[in-house]
Chain A
Amino acid sequence: MTKWGMVIDLEKCTGCQACSAACQMENNRLPGENYQDVLYYTEGRQPTPVLKWIPRPCMHCEEPSCMQVCPTKATYKTADGVVLIDWNKCIGCKYCMVACPYGVRFFTDEKPLIEPSVKQVFKGSGDLSWSPPYKGPQQDASRSIGIQPDGVVSKCNFCYHKVSKAPKGTSDLDPDDPALREFVPACVRTCAPSARYFGDLDNPNSQVSRLISDKRGVRLLDHTGNKPQVYYLAGDAAPVVPSTRSGANNGEGEKA
């Protein structure tokens, strides 16, 4: 059985955020609520600070803690390894958001990042939280695809409306293959430096499996036991996330 996964090569990633923009368009995301973000942070202090970044989609974990804590089984894992949310079952308790080690989930009803609120400008009809001027044809609440209703949690769905239609037995969804291009997640398809790869982790001959094996792919926060299906390639010496510290305990104000 296919187990979809992603590989992100940090040595190629330029932090251009084309992936975030593509995700925003594909999934009608609101400002500040991208399913796919690039996180920027500074390491070191003056005079030698270094700007770093890390792209962060949902990790679609093998053992997703968000799924296990959901009291209504609204969060579930498909047979092909994608973690989705059934918005019809979500009660908006936000336990999944608390339990996600990667901070990739969003609750619909929050203060807008920019004013005026986009949701107020393009008011939704029915139970949909807003009505964007451009919207993809797909809307499937049971698979967290499309515009999210009020009062529920959402997150990256690996563009399941595309991926789920890929021909069976496909080992890699290569955006350069015209026959497969339509089934490739928007962030992978748009990545200008081709830093993203999407394919079957269970197939040892897939490109993603070979990259993970040959270039020693690593997963974020592996100690939590979630076992992400998103792997990062970071080169020989570069740790993926050098520090998860927030800065409060980084030694500011302390003298050596």
Chain B
Amino acid sequence: MMPQTQKRGSVNAAMVAGIAGLVIGLGMVFANLISNGHAAFNTGSNGVTWGLPVVNYVFFALSATGLAMVASLAMVFGFKEFYPIAKRCIWLSLAVLVAGFTSLALELGHPFRLLWAVPLNFQEKSPLTWMGLFYTLFLIIALLKFKKINDGDWDSSTSRKLGLAAFVAELAAGATLGAAFGMMAMRPMWHDPQLPVYFLLTAGLSGAALAVLVTYLAYGSQQNMPEKVRRLMTGAMPKVFAAVLGASIIALAARIISGLWTNADGMQVWRAIVGSPWFWLETIALLGSFALLLGSTTRNSGSIQFAVSVMVLIAVFIGRYEFIIGGQLVPVMKGAWVQGLISYTPSLTEWMMTLASMSIALVGWAVGEKMLNLSAGPEEPSSAREGLLQDRGAPHAA
């Protein structure tokens, strides 16, 4: 059930593209995994252990965290102007989390064993244990919350508590994912007590970018948007997007500068990273996007917002790749098998896992748009609506 203002064409196209990507991606992944096992990956015990599938997982899982943050602006913190995209963000958060889980499950040696081995042997010292617990909790609570708002219950006490619980679970999950890397003292490029904060910040960035992207995919343009959505997309949303982007650029710059300056073993990988054209694509995309979001005219332009959201998502994905792969490129013990940095290029199977994850997210979103009325928001009481109209007609004097 889609409102008339929504762009059916883009949803249908996303659905077709997503299904095609899913068939091609998963088909090739399963074919290669069945015939070659995990030797279909270019990972190795003497090289990069966690390859592109883990990059996919971190990108999508943190994007799910970010989308939950955007939804929480309305549902937890009371910024009501974000209600028109809250339901879409929650649903997309679930879809991208499933996309991330899929990539991770296909990367594991025994994904089904995980289902009993982790709960029955609970290792409280492992960040992975807590991350899995928190993401599973989020999945369940967010599904319940989504059911509530899908039934029109946005404001009951239970619905509010579910929203808060989902937000807390998602924050905890994203933070422990950061801790999984940040606690690794033997990997200097990763080791950082504040890494959970960095992960949450950049999660917010990819969440905001995805929220903007799907809003435009859903409606086509600002002209097709209902008044409340248009007001959000020319008001608070791009400002929040710009603020999170600016903070993320500062955080990333701090990591790069200290990485290039330090002599600590393991950090020399930063020189290789900044020497890569991908790094400069990431830099141009982030700085260019920030510049576009700083100008009031460009910030409110629909086409600019759409382009910026795509550029930021590409930049964040490159950043995740640099971080996860880069942290493994300096061998932990110098050996005869590596002269210099470890060489790693993802295999076709690994890239197909990226395609499969993207397709799952795309299909998940399109199914939601078609069947779950993702544009719905809470019904405003008539008195509140009148008050809002009065406010707009007669602005408060300073």
Chain A positions within 8 Å of B, measured between CB atoms, are: 32-33, 37, 39-41, 56, 65, 68-74, 89-95, 97-103, 105-112, 117, 150-153, 220-221, 223-226, 241, 243-249
Contact = CB atoms under 8 A, between A and B. Distances in A.
19 contacts: A37-B335, A39-B334, A39-B335, A68-B125, A71-B114, A71-B118, A72-B123, A89-B117, A90-B110, A93-B108, A100-B186, A107-B43, A110-B39, A111-B42, A112-B39, A150-B109, A223-B185, A246-B339, A249-B268
Interface in B106-153: 108-111, 113-114, 117-118, 121, 123, 125-129, 132
A246 B266 CA distance: 8
A102 B117 contact: no
A143 to B, nearest CB: 16
A193 B176 CA distance: 48
Contacts of B336: 39-41
Nearest to A68: B125
A62 B382 CA distance: 68
B109 A91 contact: yes
A249 B330 CA distance: 10
B39 A224 contact: no
B117 A109 contact: no
A51 to B, nearest CB: 10
A94 B111 CA distance: 12
Contacts, number: 166
A92 B338 CA distance: 24
A95 B339 CA distance: 24
A33 B337 CA distance: 12
Contact of B38 (A74, A89, A103, A110): A110
Contacts of A33: 45
Contacts of A223: 185
A223 to B, nearest CB: 8
Nearest to A93: B108
A174 to B, nearest CB: 29
Given A41-B335, A151-B108, A241-B333, 7 more contacts: A39-B333, A69-B126, A71-B129, A91-B109, A107-B38, A107-B43, A150-B37
B331 A103 contact: yes
Contacts of A72: 113-114, 117-118, 121, 123
Contacts of A65: 184-186
Contacts of B128: 69, 71, 93, 95
Contacts of A70: 123, 126
Contacts of B46: 32, 103
A245 B268 contact: yes
Nearest to B120: A72
Q: For B126, B268, B328, B339, which residue has the most chain A Cβ atoms within 10 angstroms?
A: B126
A35 B339 CA distance: 21
Contact of B123 (A73, A106, A150, A243): A73
Contact of A73 (B38, B49, B121, B341): B121
B385 interface: no
Given A39-B335, A248-B341, A105 B45 contact: yes
Contact of A92 (B44, B109, B123): B109
Determine chain B's interface SS by DSSP, over half rule.
loop
A30 B180 CA distance: 30
Contacts of A71: 114, 117-118, 121, 123, 126, 128-129, 132
B180 A95 contact: yes
B338 A246 contact: yes
B117 A103 contact: no
Interface in B3-58: 37-39, 41-46, 49-50
B340 A151 contact: no
Interface in B182-200: 184-187
Nearest to A101: B186
Contact of A108 (B109, B129, B187, B269): B109
Q: For A74, A100, A226, A249, which residue has the most chain B Cβ atoms within 10 angstroms?
A: A249
Contacts of B37: 109, 150-151
B110 A92 contact: yes
A95 B186 CA distance: 13
Given A110-B44, A111-B42, A245-B268, A98 B187 contact: yes
B354 to A, nearest CB: 19
A244 B110 contact: no
Contact of B44 (A40, A101, A111, A244): A111
Nearest to A104: B333
Contacts of A221: 186, 332-333
List the 9 closest A-B pairs by CB distance, nearest first: A92-B109, A151-B109, A249-B268, A109-B38, A101-B186, A40-B336, A72-B117, A109-B37, A39-B335
A226 B332 CA distance: 14
Nearest to B180: A95
Contacts of B132: 71
A68 B110 contact: no
B49 A247 contact: no
Contacts of A37: 335
B108 to A, nearest CB: 5
B271 interface: yes
Contacts of B125: 68-69
A238 B10 CA distance: 68
A116 to B, nearest CB: 13
Contacts of A40: 335-336
B334 A91 contact: no
A41 B334 contact: yes
B367 to A, nearest CB: 30
A94 B49 contact: yes
A72 B132 CA distance: 12
Contacts of B184: 65, 98-99
